Structure 1
């Protein structure tokens, strides 16, 4: 929708003529097309002349909007208020079926104190192989990392960088923000 172009090549070996073959497109690529349009075509490669037969292009408008990624949450703090100076808190990034072990999660704590004063704490985590299907990705943050936010309301969110796509957009990669307070 913002004018970007992503080209996806998929190959299907045809074993029997006259049979329908389907090609599946990854979920992240479908999300990128929301509010935009897609074009599809194929090239039939044959062993005899003509060696390549090109199809007509078909295009479609993709309706609906991108569903933003869910905000992270903290184990044991359902009301988004952290008190009593805990030794650590455990953050959870929800499970996504398209998640890959090579994906990176950038955890961000952000506080805008004034016009030119921003307090920021970021940490990068590779998802890895240890998270089973259906389980959220967890990250531990220690009190030393959170102490600077004590007494304030601040934003907590994550950005996922996937190996599926190089596209970067707030709607695609960044989660909704959760407002936390530490007293």
Structure 2
């Protein structure tokens, strides 16, 4: 008859963990630049365009990280805050879903709205295009190739698509478009 040998497994496991492979503790070692390609965790100040007496006007807003194009659109379609609403109005609808956006190399922006959204008014289109045009100075939202061909935020064009409709608006009518 064969006898099984009993090993004290808990004791053996504890002994192995205590030795920790003989690697001594050390301080943090600096080794070059931080990893790239990560989203910056710093808050970003952007300008959302709402209407002030019917004209598009910039309202600075701090947004947390990650600061991306979709986050900006969500904030814009959410409308003015209670404090901003003292002077600001909006003609943009409150969305039941999220807007899907893409940016082409020539600076043309396409925004696809949820199915239940009716065609946007001219002031609403201006709010949208002015906000998008203003983003070029805030963080890199355009592909790098867009800047090679002399891209200017004043020449941003936006195409907005809804269920069975499409509208296009340029940033030429935005406040200070010539100074971007």
TM-score, length-scaled by structure 1? 0.25
Could you say which structure has the larger radius of gyration? 2
More strand by proportion, 1 or 2? 1
More helix by proportion, 1 or 2? 2
Query: Which structure is richer in relative contact order (CA contacts within 8 A, separation 6 or more)?
Result: 1
TM-score, length-scaled by structure 2? 0.25
